Amino acid sequence: MSDATGTWRGTSAADRVADRRERLVAACLGLLATEPDRPPTIRGVCRAANVGPRHLYELFPDMDALLAATHDAGMGELREVVDAVVERVGREPGGEVTVTDRLRPVFQAVVAVVEREPGIAAILFRVPMRDERLRAHATVSMATFVGTVRSLVVGRAAPREVADLEIAYLSGALASVFIAWTFGGVDTDRERLVDYCVSASVAVLGVAEEPDRR
């Protein structure tokens, strides 16, 4: 090991810290994927990540901070997928594109992530419902995400108060729908779920379905 650089076996100290953080977040997601209703513990996460508690506390002061970081990681993956979809739809040549045409692939992408990554579904939707401290963090995060999608997909300006109400309503309603669909309570297939989310969003946003000519 080099004292000057902190390098050990060719890996810098910064890289090792980043690796431990990634492993801890992945372990938290993994535990929530298999037991979404059982709150992860420091001991359980450390064991799953093969990271000692001392190293965990160097990164996160407590379990609340780790849950918030895990939520942000899940939201980050969702944003990447949705951003790619929005960009692709925006590049499609010609034709008449309605708000529904833009929203459908967005919700298809969200549903695909929720199906593929049960840990992300849990940390984004289910855990905040029972964890008051994470709920406050998740409420802001989800509203920011929905607001971004609203501006990218709808592209219609609205008075700030109206836009905030639309975003708040959609954030809570969509989270409840995904909880019911993913964890029980709603028995429907993927396409019907997507259809419902699209139609409900169009109704809440109050957007007309006149096509954009591109």
| CATH label of the domain that carries residue 101 | 1.10.357
Q: Which residue, among 148, 135, 156, 142, has the nearest Cα to 208 in the 3D structure?
A: 156
pLDDT band at 26 (very low <50, low <70, confident <90, very high): very high
pLDDT in the model for residue 9:
61
Q: Is residue 197 part of a domain?
A: yes
Helix or strand holding residue 24 (H, E): helix 13-34
| Contacting residues for 16 by C-beta, under 8 A, at least 6 apart | 8
Residue type for 214, please? Answer: R
Write down the mean pLDDT value for the chain.
87
Q: Is residue 29 part of a domain?
A: no
How does DSSP assign 109-163, residue by residue?
HHHHHHHH-HHHHIIIIIHHHH-HHHHHHHHHHHHHHHHHHHHHHT-----HHHH
pLDDT at 7 over 80: no
Number of domains in the chain: 1
pLDDT, average across residues 171-177 = 92
Q: Is residue 90 part of a domain?
A: yes
pLDDT band at 212 (very low <50, low <70, confident <90, very high): low
Helix, coil or strand: residue 210: coil
State the Cα–Cα distance between residues 8 and 14, nearest whole angstrom.
11
pLDDT in the model for residue 1:
45
Q: Is residue 78 part of a domain?
A: yes
Q: Is residue 56 part of a domain?
A: no
pLDDT band at 50 (very low <50, low <70, confident <90, very high): very high
pLDDT band at 2 (very low <50, low <70, confident <90, very high): very low
pLDDT, average across residues 171-195 = 92
pLDDT at 121 over 80: yes
Whether this prediction's pTM lies above 0.75 is answered by yes
Q: What is the torsional sign of CA 201, 203, 207, 209?
A: positive
Q: Is residue 177 part of a domain?
A: yes
For the chain, percent of residues with pLDDT exceeding 70:
87
Paired tokens of 173: 């309603």
Domain that holds residue 202: 69-213
Instruction: Using CB atoms within 10 Å of the CB of residue 153, give its burial: 0 to 12 exposed, 13 to 18 middle, 19+ buried.
Output: buried
Q: Is residue 41 part of a domain?
A: no
Paired tokens of 96: 């008449």
pLDDT band at 175 (very low <50, low <70, confident <90, very high): very high
Q: Which has more confidence, 92 or 147? A: 147
Q: Is residue 98 part of a domain?
A: yes
pLDDT band at 3 (very low <50, low <70, confident <90, very high): very low
Distances (CA, A) of 214 to 65, 153, 204: 45, 14, 25
pLDDT in the model for residue 154:
73
